[in-house]
Amino acid sequence: MPTPTLAEFEFEIGARMARGDGVGADAAAAACLAAFPANRGVWLLGSFAALCAGKKAAALALIERCLAADPADVQYLLQQAECLMALGRRSEALAAVTAASASPRADFAAFDAIGQFLVNAREYPLTLEIYDRAVAAAPQSMPPLIRRAVLHRLLGNFALAARDYETILTLSPLHPDALKCLVDLEPQSPQRNYVAALETALAAAPPASVDAAVLHFALAKSQEDLGNYAPSWRHLTAANRLERARGDYNAETDRRVIDEIIAGFAEVEPRHPDTTRERPIFIVGLPRTGTTLVERILGSHSQVHSAGELPALSQAIGCAVNGAAQGQAQNWQEFAARLGRLDGEPIAREYLALSEPQRGNKARFSDKQPTNFFYCALILRAFPGAHIVHLTRHPLAACYAIYKTRFEAGFPFAYDLDELGDFYIGYRRLMQHWHRVLPGRILDIAYEDIVGTQDAATRRLLEYLELPFEPACLDFHLNPAPMTNTASAVQVREPLYDSSLHQWRHYSDELAPLRARLEAAGIQID
């Protein structure tokens, strides 16, 4: 058989990495390196593949060969930083990033990549410095302004974020994302709103485009703020119809997945060996049910570091599911069917390795990845000392809050009320199962309780987590720490208010079919 060409090797390695097959990518990269031993591009690709396979030292060795040949290459320096960070050598990783930013070859693409690395490393002051330099270098370019505006929003610098979005509108007066972000930053009022600009932009946008969906969501929020509920709902249904048309979600697959998980954990052993002595806090539930609020409350405690929405658990479980003994799971249902047979120890080890850069140095850390509710039994199998906090919310309030949100990624069930109802039913069924097989191990805490009885709910939360009460937890909105880019980023920097508890009631007639669907499944609404 003839040796593959370089292009064929590159395609195979890239394809394997894209589907999470790090071991296969690394093997293909080794064969490519043997065929093209003097090619620096192959060394770089080999470093990517080795890091994907978890071979951190090997990945670093390959990229250092590249840097020996070209010490100022920005891509090489960034890959070196990735390898060093994976190895836990944070200060060296940041030094590599600093060198990349000082390279005479650093352009906007380089600044953008450097900024993304620093955001992931939670080095926000350095990130802001990078974006300031990018804006100064190209003041008429929108991408650096957009990046900086997003960062200002995460840091709670809402006035500065608004200023950047307004600058974007001077460059592109109908920019959909800038208009929507301005609407999201503050309640719209008769005296100050963007309805006219949004309607002009919508009229100019292609009818079935992403831009049109963004603008419909922004108009729905604007009209709701103004008390115009009928036009708000019209825009909301139009927005969701466009978003749903862009996806290929299959609600039946999720129903079968829930069945597989319940069958795989029909019974759960009462206790597993604790190999790590770690006591992570997992905050789970549906989006828009208060998970970010609880994260900010806990992040205000002196003993807890908020690690954000970590992908590490699903990645660690994916490594276990797709191990060499079983081969690659072909779909989500097959993946779910394998979960019950997994051992917790390798999941714990991989999770801690993957999350190390984000976990901080406090006694405890929280992981606010809402959809980790799929894995409650595996969490406790991997970390017997873990605590799981499950956020609940009134069913129609929760579903409406999801339906009115355009998510950056994930949650494909959110854009059709029938599918949203079916997913909600499956989620409730799974959580009831976890409570049955894991009695007393999961704390349910209602969003309504946090809003209505903040002190009592906070004390109950801290008692479950075996943490002493600290008054700072009640003043979570004063917490200056940056946060993940969630739909609640603005809301949780304000004191608690209860106006969101009953917004769904303005749309009782429109939500009646969803209500009937949930009640038919035995879910009590009132």
Beta-strand (E) ranges in 318-471?
364-367, 387-392, 442-446
Mean pLDDT, to the nearest integer, of 424-439? 97
Q: From CA 475, how far away is CA 508, in angstroms rounded? A: 34
Going by pLDDT thresholds of 50, 70 and 90, the confidence category of residue 497 is low
Cβ-Cβ contacts under 8 Å for 168 (sequence gap 6 or more): 142, 145, 146, 149, 175, 178
Amino acid identity of 218?
A
pLDDT score of 271: 74
Check: CB of residue 114 under 8 Å from CB of residue 96: no
pLDDT score of 408: 86
Output the CA–CA distances (angstroms, integers) from residue 74 to 50, 62, 111, 123, in the order listed.
19, 15, 10, 19
495, pLDDT greater than 60:
no
- Between strands 281-284 and 387-392, the pairing is parallel
pLDDT score of 360: 86
Q: From CA 181, how far away is CA 169, in angstroms rounded? A: 11
Check: CB of residue 289 under 8 Å from CB of residue 390: no
Check: CB of residue 283 under 8 Å from CB of residue 294: yes
Output the CA–CA distances (angstroms, integers) from residue 118 to 102, 139, 154, in the order listed.
15, 22, 14
Mean pLDDT, to the nearest integer, of 264-293? 91
430, pLDDT greater than 70:
yes
Amino acid identity of 15?
A
270, pLDDT greater than 80:
no
Output the CA–CA distances (angstroms, integers) from residue 465 to 150, 186, 282, 343, in the order listed.
32, 34, 11, 25
pLDDT score of 441: 96
Residue 76: strand, helix, or coil:
helix
Segment 46-100, tens digit of pLDDT: 999 999 888 999 999 999 999 999 999 999 999 999 999 988 898 999 999 999 9
Q: From CA 162, how far away is CA 167, in angstroms rounded? A: 9
Give the CA count within 13 Å in the CB-facing half-sphere of 247. Answer: 18
Check: CB of residue 46 under 8 Å from CB of residue 31: no
State the CB neighbour count (10 A cutoff) for residue 280.
24
Mean pLDDT, to the nearest integer, of 163-180? 96
Which range has the worst mean pLDDT, 226-240, 409-423, 495-509? Answer: 495-509
Going by pLDDT thresholds of 50, 70 and 90, the confidence category of residue 482 is low
372, pLDDT greater than 90:
yes
Give the CA count within 13 Å in the CB-facing half-sphere of 344. Answer: 20
Q: From CA 398, how far away is CA 396, in angstroms rounded? A: 5
| 98 burial via Cβ count (<10 Å: 0-12, 13-18, 19+) | middle
Give the CA count within 13 Å in the CB-facing half-sphere of 166. Answer: 8
Q: What domains lie within the chain, and their CATH numbers?
A: 1-106 (1.25.40.10), 251-497 (3.40.50.300)
| 305 burial via Cβ count (<10 Å: 0-12, 13-18, 19+) | buried
Residue 238: strand, helix, or coil:
helix
Q: From CA 155, how far away is CA 240, in angstroms rounded? A: 29
Going by pLDDT thresholds of 50, 70 and 90, the confidence category of residue 326 is low
DSSP summary character for residue 439 = T
pLDDT score of 125: 86
Check: CB of residue 341 under 8 Å from CB of residue 378: no
State the CB neighbour count (10 A cutoff) for residue 235.
22
273, pLDDT greater than 70:
yes
Check: CB of residue 313 under 8 Å from CB of residue 351: yes
139, pLDDT greater than 90:
no
Residue 405: strand, helix, or coil:
coil
Segment 375-420, tens digit of pLDDT: 999 999 999 999 999 999 999 999 999 999 999 888 999 999 999 9
Mean pLDDT, to the nearest integer, of 2-18? 86
Beta-strand (E) ranges in 13-123?
none
300, pLDDT greater than 90:
yes
Check: CB of residue 215 under 8 Å from CB of residue 236: no
Check: CB of residue 63 under 8 Å from CB of residue 44: yes
Check: CB of residue 474 under 8 Å from CB of residue 293: no
Q: From CA 257, how far away is CA 439, in angstroms rounded? A: 22
- The tokens for 136 are 């100064």
pLDDT score of 489: 55
